[in-house]
Amino acid sequence: MHPHRTLPVPASPVVCEPDRVRYLHLVAAARVTAVRPVSKQQVADIVRVTVDDEVDTRTFAAIVADVATDVLR
């Protein structure tokens, strides 16, 4: 049998480059605008699918708040 090998766990959380965050923000905003959601939860769902674990929780929440403010007026 082959020995079981595990991959090392990164010491720090994934840090996304600022340009990538801006790009994800713009894509999320475009998708939300196209769908025209009626609740912040729907906005969060669309943003979650867009960013797909590329940003930390704080950045995710900031993108949701910003996009929801523009769309849910």
Look at residue 73 and give its three-state secondary structure.
Answer: coil
pLDDT in tens, 9-35: 555 555 678 899 999 999 999 999 999
What integer is the mean pLDDT of 35-53?
94
Which DSSP state fits 32? H
Q: Is there a contact between 65 and 24 (Cβ–Cβ < 8 Å)?
A: no
The domain limits of the chain are: 28-71
Look at residue 52 and give its three-state secondary structure.
Answer: coil
pLDDT of residue 1 exceeding 80, the answer is: no
DSSP string, 36-47: --SSHHHHHHHH
Q: Is there a contact between 50 and 28 (Cβ–Cβ < 8 Å)?
A: yes
